[in-house]
């Protein structure tokens, strides 16, 4: 049954994690907002964020120290102005959240700040031990629920962005229950769709993290940056019968030790900070120990911290591991690295504006420049708050100069578009994830990356069509984002942060401070408007804007 009249709004927010919710609150002050959520609203990555939120609020800390730690963790590739915005505005955003009812853990009447890897101060606020993201989303959702101008549309998958006259002015949306696709117009669109961890066989991300926002922004003509920088969390639960479950970095912050199969605490051999070294270093150290001992995992040991403390400090982790017959107060936990966070994404300025007019982005889908080559632990939730608000404010200012577009031509074209289905969606999805894990994972090389890009190119014809269902559309997005990651990793001929090339281990080769940028080739279709073919046509430095190596990309 065809939808008679789609709901009307001034703004679309695609995604409902911390960044999207915070943006929607500002947007609702100036107009009607529709929040589009793929699947259930409580499936966002923000919900599962355990460790906490980093913010310079303690007596021993200040924003200058937080800035220094962030830039150092990013290996010199952070955008310093963006980091300054993050650390300076972060305290106000957290205080605002507290006024709205957020309850962060306290000790002796004061906030209980924890320390995580690569932080020089204890600045991690947490809620209910290891449920910080859940608490932040709870408060933001309650606040959004109070705003009558915010309308939620759950179980609505965003298929593509609508571009008319060179600006983003809406989205093609799939009703997951009815299977109908329709167009929602808007004066401005905010992307907050999260990351793309599902392109890897092992990931801590929820199943819906399929890179949808990055893929649709890329197809619409927006610029992607730093896609080679994928952070692998060092410690995810490793059991053949269970999906990877994140074991918070805070466990090492509280004194947990990494041990190999011989029972040796090995991290001191790799870095002076031992288990508290930056994530990229810890992940590669674990990978090296696994290779040396010919094992599929190492162990995380918290048994010496005391049963009462562990249960109180990590209640979610304790209960989850217990369901898999592991009592972490008595047993070492089998762990191995898993894909965790995208430092790269849709390029934005300091206010969340992308290179496509009318499109804004915030959170993991965006590349604000905050994280550089390696994200400092627990900066992501703060980034969602700070840049979610900024994107909302900037979208309001943009929309004040726009009229709601007439998309009747696009609506008619959508009705005529033939929808296809993949022959074996699950097989292709699994093949893609294995290819990325084996060839574009923690350790890369020119040989592995050439193989990966060749395989991804062979899948090109299979994803160039329009698809009907969510599963097929997700695989299309996964292939597109995976190809961007592989192409950027092949282009970056040095090792820095989360990007490690075994054939080029040096970090300070000429041009190492350049950033990869990916864009699509434009071609005129008919006489009415331009469409984008979806090809990766150039990788370049944003400083020089010089053309990098040209490669065939994705249609």
Give catalytic residues, as residue numbers.
279
DSSP structure string for 60-78: T--HHHHHHHHHHHTTT-S
Closest CA to 117 of 320, 228, 280: 280
Closest CA to 359 of 161, 554, 549: 161
Distance CA 198, CA 181 (A): 24
Distance CA 253, CA 346 (A): 32
DSSP 3-state assignment of 56?
A: coil
Residues 6+ apart with CB under 8 A from 272: none
Please give, one letter per residue, the 3-state secondary structure of 339-386.
EEEECCEEECCCCCECCCCCEEECCCCEECCCCCCCCCCCCHHHHHHH
Q: Which run of H or of E encompasses 285?
A: helix 279-293
DSSP 3-state assignment of 547?
A: strand
DSSP 81: H
Q: Which segments of 55-197 does DSSP mark as H helices, in order?
A: 63-73, 80-99, 132-145
CA separation, residue 329 to residues 23, 146, 288, 332 (Å): 41, 42, 27, 8
Q: Are the beta carbons of 25 and 143 closer than 8 angstroms?
A: yes
Distance CA 365, CA 254 (A): 30
- Give Cα 454 to chain centroid, integer Å: 25
Distance CA 532, CA 473 (A): 18
Radius of gyration of the chain (CA): 22
């Amino acid at each position: 049954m065809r939808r008679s009249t789609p709901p009307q709004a001034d703004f679309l927010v695609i995604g409902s994690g911390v960044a999207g919710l915070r943006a929607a609150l500002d947007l609702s002050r100036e107009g009607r907002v529709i929040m589009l959520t793929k699947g259930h609203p409580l499936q966002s990555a923000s919900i599962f964020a355990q460790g906490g939120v980093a913010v310079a609020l303690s007596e021993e800390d200040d924003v200058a120290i937080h800035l220094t730690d962030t830039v150092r963790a990013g290996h010199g590739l952070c955008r310093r102005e963006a980091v300054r915005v993050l650390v300076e505005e972060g305290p106000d955003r957290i205080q605002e959240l507290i006024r709205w009812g957020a309850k962060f853990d306290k000790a002796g009447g004061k906030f209980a700040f924890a320390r995580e890897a690569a932080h020089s101060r204890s600045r991690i606020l947490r809620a209910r031990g290891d449920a910080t993201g859940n608490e932040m989303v709870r408060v933001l959702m309650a606040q959004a629920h109070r705003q009558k101008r915010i309308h939620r549309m759950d179980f609505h998958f965003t298929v593509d962005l609508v571009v008319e006259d060179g600006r983003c002015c809406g989205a093609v949306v799939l009703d997951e229950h009815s299977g109908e696709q329709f167009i929602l117009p808007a004066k401005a669109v905010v992307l907050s769709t999260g990351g793309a961890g599902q392109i890897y066989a092992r990931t801590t991300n929820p199943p819906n993290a399929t890179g949808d926002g990055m893929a649709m922004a890329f197809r619409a003509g927006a610029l992607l940056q730093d896609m080679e920088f994928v952070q692998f969390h060092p410690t995810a639960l490793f059991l053949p019968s269970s999906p990877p479950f994140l074991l918070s970095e805070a466990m090492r912050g509280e004194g947990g030790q990494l041990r190999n199969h011989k029972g040796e605490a090995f991290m001191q051999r790799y870095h002076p900070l031992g288990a508290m070294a930056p994530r990229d270093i810890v992940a590669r150290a674990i990978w090296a120990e696994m290779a040396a001992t010919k094992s599929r995992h190492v162990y995380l040991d918290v048994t010496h911290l005391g049963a009462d403390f562990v249960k109180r400090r990590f209640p979610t982790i304790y209960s989850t591991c217990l369901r898999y017959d592991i009592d972490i107060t008595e047993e070492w936990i089998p762990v191995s690295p898993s894909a965790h966070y995208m430092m790269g994404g849709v390029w934005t300025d300091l206010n969340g504006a992308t290179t496509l007019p009318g499109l804004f982005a915030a959170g993991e889908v965006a590349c604000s420049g905050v994280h550089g080559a390696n994200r400092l632990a627990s900066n992501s939730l703060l980034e969602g708050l700070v840049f979610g608000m900024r994107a909302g404010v900037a979208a309001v200012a943009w929309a004040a100069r726009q009229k709601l577009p007439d998309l009747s031509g696009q609506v008619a074209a959508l009705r005529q578009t033939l929808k296809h289905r993949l022959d074996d969606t699950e097989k292709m999805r699994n093949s893609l994830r294995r290819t990325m894990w084996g060839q574009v994972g923690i350790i890369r090389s020119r040989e592995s990356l050439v193989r990966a890009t060749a395989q991804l190119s062979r899948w090109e014809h299979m994803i160039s069509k329009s698809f009907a269902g969510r599963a097929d559309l997700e695989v299309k997005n996964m292939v597109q984002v995976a190809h961007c990651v592989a192409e950027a990793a092949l282009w970056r001929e040095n090792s820095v942060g989360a990007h490690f090339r075994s054939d080029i281990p040096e970090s300070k080769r000429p041009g190492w401070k350049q950033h990869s940028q990916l864009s699509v080739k434009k071609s005129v279709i008919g006489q009415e408007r331009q469409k984008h073919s979806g090809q990766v046509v150039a990788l370049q430095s944003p400083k020089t804007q010089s053309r990098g190596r040209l490669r065939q990309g994705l249609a």
